[in-house]
A and B are shown apart, each in its own frame.
Chain A
Amino acid sequence: MNKPSRLRIVCINVVTWTIVLLVSFPLIWMLLTAVKPQSELFRIPPTFLPQRITFEHYARLLSDTPFLTYFGNSIVLATATTILVIAVGTLGAYSLVRFRYRGREQLATLVLFTYLLPSVVLIIPLYLLMVKLGIANTLFSLVLAYTTFSLPYALWLLRSFMAEIPEDLESAALVDGASRLGAFWDVIVPQALPGIISTALFTFILAWNEYLYALVLVNSDSSRPLTTGVMNMLITSFNIEWSLLMAASVMMSIPLIVIFAFLQSYLTSGFGVGGVKG
């Protein structure tokens, strides 16, 4: 095979980096704007790099606004949704893969039906349901609502991961003395960990970034997550607090970056290799 020419390598790199910069430009602009002084934000001609770095916007965001309340709500909301989806999803996927009962395949297909409908169609009945349950305008109502659209995908993703796990492993655990649930915990969960982590990441991001359901189902500051809280706080018909908005955006991105950085190795490591011969 011929080595690609130097010119070709340079062209590929130029094109690739151009795309990277174009895609990441909003992110870079967000980071830079968040540390620019207010006076520099709308200067003509605009400055790319800040002439003076300031953290005043972060300080104001944390001390003068209910940002931390919203942040805490989002953490609780995303974490609770993720835990619930993972708990129900892993057991549900295990049932779909390992147990034989009438209607199993139909049930697996049926759970995807929720994705055929647009969110706006489901939101009114969901709201009325939450009111009837007496949990309207609470974080718990958002947890339940987010679970309804995260769980089907979680079931399908986890189902495909669990189907790859050889049945012999569970059989061995049962013979070795484990109960059914014990075999699930000792064998299935560790083997399905990359799938569980992928599902958890997907669910967390979904719950963290969701806006429409949060807008409709919750309208008090004490229960608002970051998405609607920041919008409500910083964007009005007359004014957009760009500096605070950029600072808030940076802070909203941090948990996701941290989680990705921490969990990425689990996604790429070779779990399950070598335990079963042939």
Chain B
Amino acid sequence: MVAVTFEKVRKTFGASVAVEGLDLSVADGEFVSLLGPSGCGKTTTLRMLAGLEQPTNGTIRIGERDVTDLAPSERDIAMVFQSYALYPHMTVAENIAYPLKKRGVPKPERAVRVAATAKLLQLEALLDRKPKQLSGGQQQRVALGRALVREPKVFLLDEPLSNLDAKLRAHMRTELIELHRRLGKTMIYVTHDQLEAMTMSTRIAVMRGGVLQQFATASEIYRRPANAFVAGFIGTPSMTLASASHRGPTKLAVGGAEWTMPDGHVKSLPMGAALTVGVRPDDVLLGSGPHRALVKVVEPIGHESIVLIAAEGTDLTVRIAGDTPLKAGETVPFDVRGNRLHVFDAESGRRLNNDRPD
């Protein structure tokens, strides 16, 4: 069953296009992340779903219901804001009870549901406090509680972890995953942090410039990015993207070198076609191979080392497990895994690999 559908949704602010021709279907119970850089249209998309922005064109459905022109209060959704948006003059209990009060839930039932939500999120001791007396993590849980108490069809979360410190963010990420697993509700989550998106989501919608780039599982997006933008955006450290040209069914000219790949790895292309080749840091093998590179930077992180090498006009990022004896200034042989190269059209960025189904 489809929980949320965007059909050719477009949003403009004056002459500026924030979202262009968005077609997206979220299944019931999915945790979908809208991921992309600042200004890509992800928050605008979420706000259109919430009813806080009106689409310029297109249709939005929640279930079978067309909600495009409905007020936020009529959509059966709940939202957690990046700023939490707790009502400062109300206590924690009053904040959580507010959505129930607005929907005319009787006072005794309100108290019961608020208590249950507070227990779920370990807020019982904080019910009489005001938001200003809470820590960031506590405020975030209250914002979650206010969303949960109504038991809506769809949860919308607009970068709720971005104001937390790294440790708390990691903890809350786990809590959200657990919450989603327990509730089984549809959640749509906006983030610019790919780690959040990759670890929490059933599927990820990568956006750029208001246009949906790819909508797939984290694994699919990582292994088969639909275009050069997605390839460079997903993965830490980022995939190296270098200019290349087609030299035959098994050869690519990259900088001053020639890289090989299996026959049939990419679609049929004209000789000399301008390409962009992408290689993940894990797919560059140092220590042996037909190519040589100068080590520019070595960054030991502890459990791994990140090495930047310069190879005939191309800088490559390499990930090595554990420590490495390599030093900057050294020359090192290397090879790339030809069957793991990602090839894109240089102009459109479109993926050109012949991807076989799993």
Interface residues of A in 243-276 (CB under 8 A from B): 270-276
Is residue A177 within 8 Å, beta carbon to beta carbon, of the partner chain? yes
Known contacts: A274-B130, A274-B134, A277-B136. The answer to whether A175 contacts B89 by CB under 8 A is no
Q: Scoring B residues 94 to 107 as 1 if CB is less than 8 Å from chain A, else 0, what string do you get?
A: 00001100110000
B81→A176 contact, CB < 8 A: no
A171→B73 contact, CB < 8 A: no
B83→A166 contact, CB < 8 A: yes
B173 to chain A, nearest CB (A): 17
Question: With a CB–CB cut-off of 8 A, which chain A residues contact B81?
Answer: 168, 171-172
Chain A interface bracket (under 10, 10 to 19, 20 to 34, 35 or more): 20 to 34
How many residue-residue contacts, CB under 8 A, span A and B? 95
B85→A169 contact, CB < 8 A: yes
B83→A276 contact, CB < 8 A: yes
A131 to chain B, nearest CB (A): 46
Is residue B198 within 8 Å, beta carbon to beta carbon, of the partner chain? no
B102→A182 contact, CB < 8 A: yes
B79→A275 contact, CB < 8 A: no
Among B78, B87, B132, the one with the most A-chain Cβ atoms within 10 Å of its Cβ is: B87
Question: With a CB–CB cut-off of 8 A, which chain B residues contact A177?
Answer: 73, 99, 102-103, 150
Interface residues of B in 72-98 (CB under 8 A from A): 72-73, 77-79, 81-89, 98
Interface residues of A in 149-168 (CB under 8 A from B): 166, 168
A274→B87 contact, CB < 8 A: no
B52→A186 contact, CB < 8 A: no
B99→A176 contact, CB < 8 A: yes
B88→A273 contact, CB < 8 A: yes
Is residue A134 within 8 Å, beta carbon to beta carbon, of the partner chain? no
Question: With a CB–CB cut-off of 8 A, which chain A residues contact B88?
Answer: 191, 271-276
B103→A274 contact, CB < 8 A: no
Is residue B33 within 8 Å, beta carbon to beta carbon, of the partner chain? no
- Residue on A nearest B160 in the bound complex, by CB: A277
A174→B87 contact, CB < 8 A: no
Known contacts: A275-B87, A276-B84, A277-B139. The answer to whether A175 contacts B131 by CB under 8 A is no
Residue pairs across A and B with Cβ atoms less than 8 A apart, 20 shown, are: A171-B52, A171-B72, A171-B85, A172-B79, A172-B87, A174-B52, A178-B102, A190-B87, A191-B89, A271-B88, A271-B89, A273-B132, A274-B132, A275-B131, A276-B84, A276-B86, A277-B136, A277-B163, A278-B82, A278-B163
